[in-house]
Amino acid sequence: TFDMLVIGAGPAGSAAAIYAARKGIKTGVLAERLGGQVMDTMAIENFISVPYTEGPKLVAAAEMHMREYDIDIMTGQKAKRIERKEDGLILITLENEVTLKSKSVVLATGARWRLMNVPGEDEYRNRGVAFCPHCDGPLFKNKPIAVIGGGNSGIEAAIDLAGIALHVTVLEFSDTLRADKVLQDKVASLSNVTIIKSAQTTEVLGDGNKVTGLNYTDRLTNQSHHLALDGIFVQIGLLPNTEWLKGDIELNKMGEIITNNHQATSIPGVFAAGDATDVPYKQIIISMGEGAKASLGAFDYLIRNS
């Protein structure tokens, strides 16, 4: 039986595990893949005090930091069920039917970006195809870019990027923008943003090295068009990895785990942190801070309940 079992080993899970182990309690980490989304990131320039690093490097450093402590790290394993037993222990069932028991749990299963699923998107990921305006916006200073998606995150991204990029084209699939009116008004006032509705992106184009543009179909006329671009920000949704928790723990309508300001969830003894939760702004530094908070919240729970 663990004192604290952390599910997920991205920034949130690593921070939670280190904070737990430093309390001298029996700590375990269970993760499908060490590092999470950071493994898919190339340049990282907003991790404060480290002006430049790369995803795999940051992951290796976090792993080394975890291995400084007595933490039972289990990778290549996926959790599929969480239950709280009458004796207060939390039972985690893995996809291979193995069960793990812990007095407290920190959920840090992160999220994944919804993809367009068009040719070129995967090939040019991190080479012009981007997902995070706060992270990669500055790479496109004075360059023409596109934002895919006209919901709140797409329009927020367009407003944000318009201050950096030369020009921003927003491509929205439907015939209306779904963003809040204040955001629509704001974006309409910007001279270097063009909005194209009823536009279905069909292909990301590149020169073998980086993005050079995209093709889209006008869904009203069925005509194909080309845009020359240096960058494409895909903003069609961030999906939390919480499908396995549905029905057992309180999630919001986006599927994010609802937490309070101690990172507690609707199950006593279960805390959560990072991109899987309803925390606003999904970033490495924020996930690490939230992971530390969740771990301290869980430790406080342990002091009071065992």
Q: Which residues bind ligand FAD (CB under 6 A)?
A: 7-13, 30-33, 36-38, 40-41, 44, 46, 78-79, 108-111, 113, 131-132, 135, 241, 244, 274-276, 282-285, 287
72 is annotated as an active-site residue? no
Tokens of 268: 């006593």
Alpha-carbon separation of residue 132 from 69, 109, 112, 235 (angstroms) = 32, 19, 12, 8
CA gap 145, 47 in Å, rounded: 24
CA gap 287, 53 in Å, rounded: 17
Which member of 72, 87, 122, 135 is catalytic? 135
Alpha-carbon separation of residue 170 from 165, 248, 265 (angstroms) = 13, 38, 37
Closest distance to ligand FAD from the beta carbon of 253 (Å): 19
Range 219-228 contact pairs with CB under 8 angstroms and sequence separation of 24 or more: 219/173, 220/175, 225/199, 227/144, 227/146, 227/169, 228/144
Closest distance to ligand FAD from the beta carbon of 108 (Å): 5
185 is annotated as an active-site residue? no
User: Is there a binding annotation on residue 230?
Assistant: no
User: Is there a binding annotation on residue 191?
Assistant: no
Which member of 70, 122, 132, 218 is catalytic? 132
Nearer to ligand FAD, 4 or 12 (CB): 12
Closest distance to ligand FAD from the beta carbon of 111 (Å): 6
136 is annotated as an active-site residue? yes
Closest distance to ligand FAD from the beta carbon of 84 (Å): 17
Q: List residues with catalytic annotation.
A: 132, 135-136
Q: Report the binding-site residues for FAD.
A: 3-18, 265-275
